[in-house]
Structure 1
């Protein structure tokens, strides 16, 4: 199908006017000199010259410029994302220049975005490889040791099998968490929306994590008493997972004999904000923009003594966004951190 051609008459009109003015003045002087000047002679002459010049110039522009401009459009058509190739072909140089400049800016932005994504992809693949390789090699080492003869010693056999079991359990955590994130991103994980008391849910999470908190002498507490229920509408199991991940995170990096505090506040008429605050080691500001990336760790030493899949905060972010809510983080290094998220409140 032939591309739509948008004619531009501006150049032809402007040029024809210049030629008409110049030749009319020249002819007027000539006629005046020979004393045959009538008032309607210049008018007829100017009209004729204008029409003649316009037709010739416009024809030349369309024939000469159009072929060259069309090649530009044809080249851009090869780029499927080029919106410029979808419009009408114009011989207006100003319009064409503006379109090309816009196209160049868009492509520059697209290239920069692709570079950032490529860096993220490389880092992500490296992190996945590292996270899977560590427990896998650990399990492999214990099994090979047992096969080399250590299995004959009952005490060593039980100890190594328990350690191998923990490594397999860690692999299971990583795979399950990756599967959940993938389902959340593509929308395959449906949410079971229901109305429940968020205060009771926080208390249940406190009870589940009480033993873990006692190991570090960290107190799990509310900021105040909540005698009345605060009901919200959300997927109860997923929000429990969010709270569990955030509180576990505060326990991992919290200070000995510290505190993890949960507060629930009215944000606007139909929203509440849930805050999880600790007085742990805090997070340097340079890490905050990337906290919710998969496998991103503030501790670059690669230590895995705290366990976990490295996907907890990424899962939290995806669950909250699946509810069409917001999650926030504030932290000061050496002081502590606060993670907060919004939920829909019901009467």
Structure 2
């Protein structure tokens, strides 16, 4: 069946000219009973109508459509686009043009939503950054003002205030270093020095390095039964050590006293190795799970600051693992515990 929905300008011109010329030719034939005159009038009327209608369409309609397309692309037309405007666009029907404009509108709408989300994230990030710096700066200012107001005369007070000032300075230094670490990871300025190494050895070394913190809370650190057999991965050893250090330190901070931290290591598809660290601590509520790898995001702001840290540890872990071309995941239940894992490439020959 003949469809007029997606006719090009040429087809629409020809169709309209034919509709106009047929009645005129029939009328002339009825008046003259000369089929030759009627045929000539049909051809002349069809050609004249076709040229006139096509001229009107291209001059007053498709010229406006070209402007719409140029507005959509928001750029001076390149040679490729000029070719498109000259040869391809005139072949499109109005309905096809409508679909193009609707598709463009949907894309712009999605981009606007993304920009709004990014803007909200940026504002939240700046607020958190200002708050993280404000706390130690105000504390330092308070200690210094107190010392200058006469507290220096008391050696015991001045020593305590200077020690507190030093701790807040250290906190600011750690914050700046963590921010610098993330910036370099994002920009690719920190190349990865990949090598083959046994992941269980690095886990045990990290357990040992953090033994003072874990022993203080009587937390047992172990490798899951059945996962002790050495498994070799291909990654940046020191960067992975940093990831494990952050994850185990978090588990020690938020895990319950007299609890446990268990590491699991599995070969997955022969090309990757899965590493998971589980604790039996307080857990994380479901609404917080999608955001725990964001910078400065804290599930409990007051409690998180009490136990220390810059709020950037998990964000750094995520960037390191993503720099390896891998991903992190988290599972957690309140009052049951949390498991955070990541994958690495298996041994490379």
Scaled by the length of structure 1, the TM-score of the pair is: 0.89
Q: Does 1:272 align with 2:273?
A: yes
CA, structure 1 residues 301+11, in 2 after alignment: closer, same or farther (shift >3 Å)?
farther
Q: Which segment drifts farther, 93-102 or 316-325?
A: 93-102
Q: 2:88 aligned with 1:105, yes or no?
A: no
Matched with 1:287 is: 288
**Residues matched between the structures, number:** 334
The range that moved more, 137-146 or 177-186, is: 137-146
Provide the residue aligned with 1:48 in structure 2.
Answer: 44
Render the CA deviation track for 1:254-281: whole Å, top value 9, x for unaligned.
1121111100011111111000111111
Distance in 2 between the 1:271 and 1:172 partners? 36
**What does the per-residue CA deviation read over 1:84-129, in whole Å, with 9 as the maximum and x for residues that have no partner?**
9775263542232222212211111111111111100100000000
3-state SS, counterpart of residue 170 of structure 2? helix
> Structure 2 CA distance, aligned partners of 1:88 and 1:161?
72
Q: 1:25 is matched with which residue?
A: 26
Residues of 2 paired with 1:210 and 1:225: CA distance? 23
- Closer/same/farther in 2, CA of residues 123 and 85 from structure 1, 3 Å limit: farther
Q: Are the aligned partners of 1:283 and 1:333 in contact in 2 as well (CA < 8 Å)?
A: yes
- CA distance in 2: counterparts of 1:75 and 1:343, whole angstroms: 46
The within-5 A match list for 1:24-173 is 24-31=25-32, 36-38=33-35, 42-76=38-72, 78=74, 87-88=84-85, 90=89, 92-173=93-174
2: CA distance, partners of 1:282 / 1:164: 33
Q: Specify the SS of the correspondent of 1:268.
A: coil
* 1-structure distance, mates of 2:66, 2:76: 17
**What secondary structure, in the 3-state scheme, does the structure 1 residue paired with 2:261 have?**
strand
Deviations 1:234-271 (A, max 9, x none): 11110000001111111111112111110001111111
Secondary structure of 1:212's aligned partner: helix
Structure 1 residues 203-246: Cα deviation after superposition (integer angstroms, max 9, x where no partner): 00000111101222211111115554211111111000000111
Cα distance change of structure 1 residues 56 and 217 upon mapping to structure 2, 3 Å threshold: same
Whether contact under 8 Å (2:233, 2:346) holds in the other structure is yes
**Structure with the bigger percentage of helix:** 2
For the 8 Å contact 2:72–2:104, the answer to whether it is kept is no
Distance 1:16 1:302, change over 3 A: farther
Q: Deviations over 1:147-177 (max 9, x none)?
A: 2222222222222221111111111111000
Q: Does 1:204 align with 2:205?
A: yes
Tell which deviates more after alignment, 311-320 or 105-114. Answer: 105-114
Partner of residue 331, structure 2:
330
Once residues 80 and 210 of structure 1 are traced to their aligned partners in structure 2, the CA distance between those partners, rounded to angstroms, is: 64
Shift of the 227–105 alpha-carbon distance from structure 1 to 2, 3 Å rule, reads closer
Structure 2 unaligned blocks of 5 or more: 1-7
> What displacement does 1:64 show?
2.1
Q: CA offsets per residue over residues 317-343 of structure 1, 9 Å max, x none?
A: 000000001111111122111100001
Contact 2:70 2:76 survives alignment (8 Å): no
Residues 95/183 of structure 1: CA separation in 2 closer, same or farther (3 Å cut): same
